[in-house]
Amino acid sequence: MVCRERLVQRTGGGAGLRRPGGFSAPGSGGGIADGGGAVAGASGAVGPVQRLLTGDSSGPRRAPGAFARASGAGAALRLWAAGLAVVGLLAARSAAGVGFVEDFVTDPIASGRWTVLEGDPGRFQYDAGARTLTAHYDTGLPTARLARPLGASVTQNGWARVTVEFEIRSAGFYADPNGFAQIAFGLINRTRTGPDRSSLTANAYDVLNVDYFPNISEQWGGPSLCPTIITSDPGTGFWDAVKYEWGSETLLDDDGESPLPLDVRLTAHLDYAVAGGVGRAVLRVAQNGMSLPINLVGKGNPPGTGGTDGDPTTIVTTIEGDAFRVDAFGLLLWNDSWAVGSSVIADVVFYGVSVDVRPPADMDRDGDVDLADFNSFQACFNGPNRPPKSDCAGQADFDGDGDVDLADFGAFQDCFNGPNRAPGAGCS
């Protein structure tokens, strides 16, 4: 097997690593080159990248190319560390994830930061004096969605933190006790997330959002609050893609719980991360900095234990073996196609939105992809068609095929950009 060493150090200028065949990182003025491009030749010679990944500290085995002539994994690591030192000196800004902070100081639509994907633009009203954006939710109207791009895609293997400051106004508020529909906002895919969230042929795939169903009825119970994950199209119908915990984990009707208060400024915190191959979306809602008791009785637990994670201030949705990809934040004014008339009507004032997303390769979630992340990746690397190493503490199976191999290393390389710098431009 012949594998190309694809490690590229993006410095924005200065030393770098070159791809096989002499391709160098943009702006690099030299550095480590591999003209031959082989990690292992037909004779089975093993290159230093493979030894570096597997932790093999044995002496060098000859393979074509200048990089292969380095003195084993230790030398390769020293060369890499030297390149990283240059990056550290050149870095001019602190590490930060991809995303945005929206404070509505200027009109988000007129400025072009936000785009109406479909529906009536008049349902989104900007108040320059108050620096707020009000969305008119009415599930009897056609779907309307307003979105702002993240600047990157986040998959089921990534990490995301969404914070939204909002207020549900009591004026004109209506929640039909015979209906079931939501006030929704969160992460979507501008291409894959369609406008139909409720019919038998719904198409609103690839969603990670907050759903608040304010309806209270004998039939449904309620109200309900949940972090909802809608995966990519599984090929078996939309409703197989919808993931959230129905019942005690999401209902706000136990003693000590209550509907979300009206005319009160609230903050929703939605976090998504992966551990042990399981993706977890965790929702908190705070008032005046204090988390509300939204899950005093949760799934599979006796009263007072706080649901699946034992925390009475969180609601959790998990996925395992499912995929999604989101690339924007959206205010989601869904139509309820089942209802005659409106199931929910509400004016919701948004004071601010912040989204911070990190690629899977940023394994320590510090905003960059550097040697610390590589060390974590190395601890997981075990080659194709084998499970990750037993001491793997992160999620390094970036392509979700059950192993951590050179394909995953290729994805890591696309993100690598050194300390205190945003991940590489090709990172996803």
Q: What are phi and psi of 79, to 5 degrees?
A: -60, -40
Largest CA distance in the chain: 77
Give the full edge-to-edge strand order of the sheet including 183-188.
115-118, 144-155, 325-333, 183-188, 207-213, 224-230, 242-243
pLDDT in tens, the chain (428 residues): 333 233 333 333 333 333 333 322 333 333 323 333 333 333 344 444 454 555 554 444 333 333 333 334 444 444 444 444 434 433 333 345 578 999 999 999 999 999 999 999 999 999 999 999 999 999 999 999 999 999 888 899 888 999 999 999 999 999 999 999 999 999 999 999 999 999 999 999 999 999 999 999 887 789 999 999 999 999 999 999 999 988 888 999 888 899 999 999 999 999 999 887 889 999 999 999 999 999 988 776 565 577 778 899 999 999 999 999 999 999 999 999 988 889 999 999 999 999 998 877 887 777 788 888 898 888 889 888 888 888 887 778 877 777 889 988 988 888 888 888 877 777 76
Assigned token pair, 318: 């998990």
- Return the domain boundaries, the chain: 14-95+366-415, 98-358
- Sole residue written with tokens 């008032």: 287
Using DSSP, state whether 364 is helix, strand or coil: coil
Model confidence, pTM? 0.73
* CATH code given to domain 98-358: 2.60.120.200
Cα–Cα–Cα angle for 84, 86, 89, nearest 5°? 110
Q: What is the spatial distance between Cα 265 and Cα 170, in angstroms, rounded to a whole number?
A: 12
* Cβ(164)–Cβ(350) below 8 Å: yes
Beta bridge partners of 229: 208, 243
Contact predicate 85/412, CB 8 Å? no
Give me 203's structure tokens: 């198409």
**Using CA atoms, how far apart are residues 59 and 255, in angstroms rounded to an integer?**
67
The amino acid at residue 356 is D
CA distance 344 to 122: 18
Residue 194 to residue 190: CA distance in whole angstroms: 8
* Of the candidates 419, 351, 359, 353, the residue with the CA atom closest to the CA atom of residue 160: 359
Structure tokens at 263: 């005319």
The terminus-to-terminus CA distance of the chain in angstroms comes to 27
Residues 6 or more apart in contact with residue 208 via CB below 8 angstroms: 154, 160, 186, 187, 227, 228, 229, 230, 270, 272, 281, 324, 326
Which of the 8 DSSP states describes residue 142? P
Measure CA 140 to chain center: 31
- For tokens 């977890």, what's the residue? 280
pLDDT at position 300? 63
Distance CA 261, CA 373 (A): 42
CB 39 within 8 A of CB 20: no
Cβ burial of 134 (10 Å; 0-12, 13-18, 19+) is middle
Amino acid at 19: R
